[in-house]
Amino acid sequence: MVASTEKLRAGTYYVTATAWLSVITGDAERGCWIAKGSAPGTVYNQGIENLDNAVFTIAETAAVRVTAGDTLVEVCQTGGTNGSLALDPGALAIRVLSASHR
């Protein structure tokens, strides 16, 4: 995980996350995704780029329902060990109020 919200109240959230990826040639399957902190392998939205030896921004947006105390996270990975990095990550979650405004 490269970015995370604090523990959240139960509800539905619009979440957006970004990271600046520096990819070294030879590292494949590069990308980031939004997930719950309790299930970081479950992908809600994924950004993927196929540029070698490049620096670029990856961004994802999703609506996610969470239970009380969970977090929303951005997970980034590259398939390789050549030194690629996720830099300057961030995540923002905005809770969508219900009709009862709770």
> What are the domain boundaries of the chain?
3-96
From the candidate CATH numbers 3.40.50.720, 1.20.1440.230, 2.60.120.40, 3.50.50.60, the one assigned to the domain spanning 3-96? 2.60.120.40
Read off the pTM: 0.85
pLDDT for the residue 21: 86
pLDDT digits (tens, 9 = 90+) for 55-85: 888 999 999 999 999 999 999 887 778 888 8
Cβ within 8 Å of residue 58, ≥6 positions away: 18, 19, 20, 21, 31, 32, 47, 48, 49, 76
Quote the DSSP letter at residue 37: T
Q: What is the mean pLDDT of the chain?
A: 88
Q: How far apart are CA 16 and CA 34, in angstroms?
A: 8
Lowest mean pLDDT among 26-30, 41-45, 88-92: 26-30
